[in-house]
Structure 1
Amino acid sequence: MKLIYKYSILALTVMLSFQSCSIEPELTDVYDERVAWSGEANVELSLNKFYPLIGQSYYSAHVNQDAYADLLKKNTPNDEVNLLILGSSTITPGANPLDNWSWGYTWIRHCNEFLDGLQTKGVGLPTEFYQRAEGEVLFFRAYVYFELAKRYGASVILYDGLSDGMGRSLSKPDEVWNFIAADLDKAAAQLPATVPAAKRGKITKGAALGLKARAMLYAKRWKASSDAVASLQALNLYDLYPDYRALFNQRRSEGAENKESILEFGFLAPNFTYSFDYFFGPPLDGGYAQISPTENLVKEYQMADGTDFSWNNPVHAANPYQGREPRFYASILYNGATWKGRTLETVVGSKEGYAIGGGTTSTGYYMRKLFDEKLTDLGRGELTFYFMRYAEVLLIQAEAMAEQGQLSAGLEALNKVRRRAGFTRDLTATNTGQLLSLIRRERMVELAFEGHRFWDLRRWGLATSVLNGTHATGVKITKGTSGNLTYELVDVDNGRSRVYPEKYNRFPIPIAELQRNPNIEQFNEWK
């Protein structure tokens, strides 16, 4: 393949904020293969094209995926997410908003083209650089295959090199998970443990180990997952950031030390920004308020003393937003919250109050986590996106240990996350089922809006019970003439039951792929 690089690739280098990299590529209108592989600078530019895979759109995709679960509700009734979860539209081989087959194989081809070019034309590159470059792209190939595997039950087509143009058969799930694990093992062996501050955000050994831990959790290879976590921890590089709220309000330009970040994507104005706050923020911010947290999530934020919140508790019900754990105040905008110099009002009739139809909240809440309270121009956000952080790794460790019957180790990992959240009383469990239940709630709260919930429910086998025949709830608040507030739990799905048939646990192979490749056939449940 002839590799072509135009001037626009230089903009990508700026976007990734590798400001101090000594990259001085030979400038010309078009590069051929010899120039592309002639030195480290040009190969580095080629590597950079893969990095948008880990966070170019900030958290937008992750938030939308959480709306397919029970954490968030799209406020516009005819939004495509609402149409699907309420059964007005369905997933089919010809239409699937969560399909990524074409995306995945486009990127796998790019990865294999790079690896082939590196092997055949990059032989003159320094060994350390060669191995790092190979390790980075193996990481990205494994990531893309993981994203395919979690959608299609790991029944996908493996390409370990350039395609010969012939359609291949589907590989078995074990073969796919073995392939992902092997790519990440090799990547971890070849990648550096740390990178200079100017290259913050480049793939490291810890990122490869963290992704392996995540992938093996999905594969139900519990020991492989916990072993990957142990290898990551042996690097002695990572720890929880002391302040959960501050963690999600870091700008790359501030250069704060953050040991919780295992892999991140940085946004630096004016060259590279995002408009997340514009689309999802409250109306008086100038936002479109496209999405709101549900009461299904909010009720899972415990009281500060570690006891459960309950609307059946008269004290809780009278002042539902007092005395909750710190992550609630870091994550949720509620009636009475202080935000951008004002007191938020979500009561019926206020400009940011509960209403149905879009443009304001349909649940009584707005997101706070992931938003920049100091941002005035909503189209120029520049907070850090975390592809992986150490808190997730600890929760992976907790689950993998629980599944292996190692309750003490699982509880210790879980309680580390909770201690950072401000709890002073550790959780206890006497059996695996009890511990897994605690972990599942902790993932729901700790990782809220980060795109894990929908996929977690599928891999746990709980999606058909949590997302089928159920209703999401919100809180409708009315203010009386004397200023007293009345809280009413409401069905934010407007009386319609959610739809999640069991066959959604493995998405169908797209019809375009079936027409293109005679060596595969549709999964039985989709025939």
Structure 2
Amino acid sequence: MKNIKTTIKRTSVAILALAAISFQGCNLDLNLQDRLVEESVWSDPSTAELYVSGMYGVFQKFQFGNFPNLGYNNAMDALADGMKFTSNTLGNGTVNTLISNSNYFSPATVGLNFWNPGFVGIRRVNEMLEGVRTKSKLSEEQKIMYEAEGRYVRAYTYFWLAKLHGSLPIFRSLGDYNSKDKPRSSEQEVYDFMIEDLTFAAENLPKTNLSGRATKGAAYGMLSRVALYAGSIAKYDNKQFNMDALTGIPQAKAKDYFGIAANAAAKVVELAEEGLYALDADFAEIFRKKDTKEAIFRVDYLAPNITHDYDLGYVPPRDAAGNALVYGVPTAELVDEFEMADGTKFSWSNPVHAANPYNNREPRFEATILHNNSIWKGRVVNTTEADVVEGFVEFGKSGDPKRTVTGYYAKKMLDPNNTTFVVNKSTQSWVEMRYAEIVLVLAEAKAQLDDYASATTYINMLRNKRGLNAISVSGNTQAMQAIEHERKVELAFEGHRFWDLRRWRKAHIELNGKKMTGHKITGLGTGYTYEVVSADAVNRSFTGKLYYLPIPENEVQLNLGLDQIFGW
């Protein structure tokens, strides 16, 4: 952990203070001793606010389903079964390398690595908490507010680390950095620590819906997400995949965590009943307008300085004169998951469905998927092999085909009005947490608590808003099947599916020894034929060992108190 201790020294506070002062045009003839400069930061409300605002940068690391060391939007969905990355070259195709061979995960390469930036961010939060408590001249009310925000950000950061490694060192305060040799705490202790932080945040943050900042609803929502994950691990892991003494959560604790998740999600529902949040009637517009009440925590962008490149990465090629990057495209497995408009399951075995597979599908389908004959930006999309610009091409025929390898493009979150994104980039918001997720968390937590009547109520709350029929669930298996379906469809391309399969301990079943598929379409007009084709060159590889990823090798070497996760 040496680099955790030394990367963010107190001089970072001095640099921040100097930056803030220079922006204000003040005298720079200052005593640069660490303590004096640090105290000047916390004594000035404007620089304190600048520091606290900077902590939220961690959310941009995961914007649009990105994972920091992979560097591509939707990378997390491409690790699962809903999206296929099109490239097989180094860089653009790194995700395909990871999903094809579990041996690429090791202490030397890790595969998914957030350790150093995660713990650097945690150190920054702890510096803020210490400064606000002991050095600031802020009001007591403002101190509590900043502490609540800091603990929210700290829990969010720990959650990403915990999803990867389970057992982690816990840093509660700057005193914990006095020794570089910090051991791991148990996975249960890590989750309890996050729950403690988020409970404090939820109790002390305001009832607002403010872009880019923690609020009461965001804290209760995050608390429900974290506790649901802990409950899932307790229920489904059972030491089946790793015998490390510190990983796993006792099965007897499952209902305790599901109870915490249900109670926290219910608090968000109460805020919705007060008018703060709501399910949006127009599914497509959730991801395009900045005033949607679905957004509980969102990151906004503003041209020309604060932008992103989501559209460039995912539009069909003709949107950019054939120069779109098309990093990833939806799989047939996702496309087939969308129901018919009447709520029946879509099936290629049904001759009516198979003759016109994109007709009479549920509303979320057209808002999520661009398919053959979709109307997009005033033109008809042609994904047949005959279209050499944006039609189907077999995966592996080109290193970077920059077109669909499944017969589909991802429509959700694209801006249909943005025609200048190549030059001016994009500004639609990233919704990190939305009300629909919390409704599904509540449904799942209630089902896991054997309250199937309540689970049915919340599943149907979402389905009814999406224009679908009500259903009824009884028994855990049926309830979880319905919830998994809703999460796969509702939350597609929002970075949840890979982690859902991991927490349910289903990833080794759904993502191992299989090839995802697409549809090669041939013909014209009403004479189309749909051939199921592989979108993977080799079978995917996910072993039970990957539920707890290794700690980076250099961190174990630097921290003599840190032992490697068992089995690595």
Q: Would the TM-score normalized by the shorter structure come out above 0.5? A: yes
Matches within 5 A, 1:436-515: 436-479=480-523, 484-494=527-537, 496-515=538-557
Matches within 5 A, 1:57-456: 58-61=63-66, 63-78=74-89, 79-87=93-101, 90-122=104-136, 124-153=137-166, 155-162=167-174, 163-194=177-208, 200-220=211-231, 221-235=257-271, 236=274, 237-250=276-289, 252=290, 256=291, 258-286=292-320, 287-350=324-387, 351-356=389-394, 357=398, 358-379=401-422, 380-423=425-468, 425-456=469-500
Contact 1:60 1:276 in 2 (8 A): no
CA separation of 1:483 and 1:56: change in aligned 2, threshold 3 A: same
Match of 2:533, SS state, is: strand
Q: Deviations over 1:213-271 (max 9, x none)?
A: 00001100100100111222233322211211111111x4xxx3x22111111011112
CA displacement at 1:55 relative to structure 2: 3.0
Question: Is 1:209–1:229's contact at 8 Å kept on the other side of the alignment?
Answer: yes
Tell me, which stretches of 5 or more residues in structure 1 are unaligned?
Answer: 12-23
Give the 3-state SS of the residue equivalent to 1:419 in structure 2. helix
Say which is worse superposed, 199-208 or 132-141, in terms of deviation.
199-208
Corresponding position of 1:4: 14
Tell me the CA shift for residue 175 of structure 1: 1.0
- 3-state SS in 1 of match to 2:521: strand
Aligned sequence identity (%): 38
Change in 2 beyond 3 A, CA 1:34/1:292: same
Tell me the CA shift for residue 201 of structure 1. Answer: 2.9
Instruction: Tell me the alpha carbon deviations over residues 424-471 of structure 1, each in whole angstroms, 9 at most, x when there is no partner.
Output: x21112211110111001100000000000010010010010000111
Equivalent residue letter for 2:96: N
Secondary structure of residue in 1 paired with 2:171: coil
CA distance in 1: counterparts of 2:169 and 2:489, whole angstroms: 35
Whether the 8 Å contact between 1:56 and 1:265 is mirrored in structure 2 is no
The question of whether the paired residues in 2 share the 8 Å contact of 1:249 and 1:384 is answered with: yes
Give 1:83 shift.
1.3
Say which is worse superposed, 38-47 or 296-305, in terms of deviation.
38-47
Contact 1:391 1:417 in 2 (8 A): yes
Pick closer, same or farther for the CA change 1:229–1:71 going to 2, 3 Å. Answer: same
1:21 maps to: none
Distance, in Å, in 2 between the alignment partners of 1:9 and 1:283 is 42
Q: Which residue of 2 aligns with 1:19?
A: none
Distance 2:193 2:26 in 1: 38
Mapped to 1, the partners of 2:517 and 2:258 lie a distance apart of: 34
Instruction: Return the alpha-carbon distance in structure 2 between the equivalents of residues 298 and 226 of structure 1.
Output: 30
| Separation in 1, partners of 2:26, 2:533 | 61
- Give the aligned partner of residue 524 of structure 1: 566
**Distance across 1 between alignment mates of 2:314 and 2:26:** 41
Contact 1:75–1:290 at 8 Å: present in 2 too? Answer: yes
Which residue type is aligned with residue 285 of structure 2? A
Contact 1:25 1:41 in 2 (8 A): no
2:39 to 19, 28, 34: 34
- Supply the AA of the counterpart residue of 2:314: F
- On the 8 A contact 2:16/2:51 being kept in 1, the answer is no
Alpha-carbon separation, structure 1, partners of 2:20 and 2:344: 53
Pairwise CA distance, 1:159: 0.6
Sort the Cα spacing of 1:290 and 1:484 in 2 relative to 1 into closer, same or farther, 3 A: same
Report if the CA contact (8 A) 2:268-2:438 is conserved.
no
**What is the total number of aligned residue pairs between the two structures?**
501
Secondary structure of 2:421's counterpart equals: coil
Distance in 2 separating the partners of 1:415 and 1:280: 31
Which amino acid in structure 1 is aligned with residue 530 of structure 2?
A: Y
Cα deviation 1:185-220 (Å, max 9, x = unaligned): 11112211116xxx5332111111100000001100
The one-letter code of the counterpart of 1:421 is R
Larger CA deviation: 441-450 vs 27-36: 27-36
Report the residue type matching 1:230 in the other structure: A
For 2:433 and 2:27, how far apart are their aligned partners in 1? 37
User: What is the CA deviation profile of residues 307-361 of structure 1, one whole-angstrom value per residue up to 9, with x for unaligned ones?
Assistant: 0101111111111111000100000000000001110000002021000322110
- TM-score, scaled to structure 1: 0.91
List per-residue Cα deviations over 1:125-149 (Å, max 9, x = no partner).
Answer: 1122111111111100011111111
Amino acid at match of 1:130: K
**Alpha-carbon distance in structure 2 between the residues aligned to 1:33 and 1:337:** 57
Structure 1 residues 146 and 58, CA, compared in 2 at 3 Å: closer, same or farther?
Answer: closer
Name the SS of the counterpart of 2:43 in structure 1.
coil
> Secondary structure of the residue that 1:59 maps to in structure 2?
helix
Is the alpha carbon distance of 1:88 and 1:126 closer, same or farther for their aligned partners in structure 2, counting shifts above 3 Å?
closer
Deviation at residue 118 of structure 1 after TM alignment: 1.0
Q: Partner amino acid for 2:288?
A: N
Structure 2 residue ranges without an equivalent (≥5) = 1-9, 67-72, 232-256
Q: CA deviation at 1:28?
A: 5.1
1:264 counterpart SS class:
strand
How many Å apart are 1:303 and its aligned residue? 0.2
